[in-house]
Amino acid sequence: MISQNSIAQVFETARVEEVIGDFVQLKKSGSSFKGLSPFSEERTPSFMVSPVKQIWKDFSTGKGGNAVSFLMEHEHFTYPEAIKYLAKKYNIEIEETERTDEEKAQADTRESLYLVSEYANTYFQKTLHSTDHGKAIGLSYFKERGFTEETIKKFQLGYSLDEWQAFTDDALGKGYSIDFLSATGLTIVKGEKRFDRFKGRVMFPIHSMSGRILGYGGRILTNDKKAAKYLNSPESEIYHKSKVLYGLYYAKQGIAKEDNCYLVEGYTDVIQFYQTGIKNVVSSSGTALTPDQIRLINRLTNNITVLFDGDAAGIRASIRGIDLILEQGMNVKVCTFPDGEDPDSFAKSNTLEELTEYLNENAKDFIQFKAYLLVKEANNDPIKKAETIREIVNSIAKIPDQIKREIYIQECARIMDISENVLFSTLAQISKKDFQEANRKHKQEQKAFEVVKNVEQPKQKINVQYELERKIIEILMLYGDRTEQFEDLILKEDEVSGDLILEPTKHEARVFEKIYLDLQEDEMQFSNEQFKTLYYSIIDKLNQDENFSTKNFVNQLDQESAGTVTSILMEDEKYNLHDWERNQIIPKEKEHAVSQLVSQTILSLRCYLIDQKVAEYKNETLKEGSDTRSIIEDVKDYVGLKMLLSRKLGKVIG
Residue 103 scores a pLDDT above 80 = no
Quick: pLDDT tens for 266-314: 999 999 999 999 999 999 876 778 888 998 898 889 999 999 876 655 6
Residue type, 593: A
Instruction: Give the Cβ contact number of residue 62 at 10 Å.
Output: 10
Q: Looking at residue 637, what is its pLDDT?
A: 53
Q: Looking at residue 598, what is its pLDDT?
A: 85
Output phi, psi for 305, to 5 deg.
-120, 115
Q: Looking at residue 444, what is its pLDDT?
A: 57
More confident residue, 294 or 626: 294
Quick: pLDDT tens for 178-212: 999 999 999 999 988 999 999 999 999 999 988 99
Q: Looking at residue 224, what is its pLDDT?
A: 77
Half-sphere exposure of 645 (CA within 13 A, CB side): 20
Q: Which pTM value belongs to this model? A: 0.69
Mean pLDDT over all residues of the chain?
82
In Å, the largest CA–CA distance within the chain is 109
Residue 449 scores a pLDDT above 50 = no
Q: Looking at residue 297, what is its pLDDT?
A: 92
CB 118 within 8 A of CB 213: yes
Residue 557 neighbours by CB under 8 Å, 6+ apart? 565
Residue 460 scores a pLDDT above 80 = no
- 179 Rama class: left (phi>0) / alpha (psi -120 to 50) / beta: alpha
More confident residue, 524 or 516: 516
Q: How confident is the model at residue 602 (pLDDT cuts 50, 70, 90)?
A: confident
Q: How confident is the model at residue 248 (pLDDT cuts 50, 70, 90)?
A: very high
Instruction: Domains for the chain: give ranges and CATH numbers.
Output: 4-89 (3.90.580.10), 107-239 (3.90.980.10), 248-432 (3.40.1360.10), 464-574+590-649 (no CATH)
Q: What is the DSSP string of 162-203?
A: SSSSHHHHHHHHTT--HHHHHHTTSEEEETTEEEETTTTEEE
Task: Name the CA dihedral angle for 237, 243, 247, 249, rounded to a multiple of 10 degrees.
Answer: -70
Specify the length of the chain in residues.
654
Task: Name the CA dihedral angle for 127, 131, 136, 140, rounded to a multiple of 10 degrees.
Answer: 40
More confident residue, 577 or 30: 30
Q: How confident is the model at residue 584 (pLDDT cuts 50, 70, 90)?
A: very low
Q: Looking at residue 442, what is its pLDDT?
A: 45
Q: What is the DSSP string of 400-466?
A: --HHHHHHHHHHHHHHHT--HHHHHHHHHHHHHHHHHHHHHHHHHHHHHH--S---PPPPPPP-HHH
Average pLDDT over residues 15-41: 88
- 346 Rama class: left (phi>0) / alpha (psi -120 to 50) / beta: alpha
Q: Looking at residue 59, what is its pLDDT?
A: 85
Q: How confident is the model at residue 642 (pLDDT cuts 50, 70, 90)?
A: low
CA distance 387 to 254: 39
- 211-220, 363-372, 591-600: which is most confident: 211-220
Quick: pLDDT tens for 107-130: 578 888 999 999 999 999 999 999
Average pLDDT over residues 156-178: 96
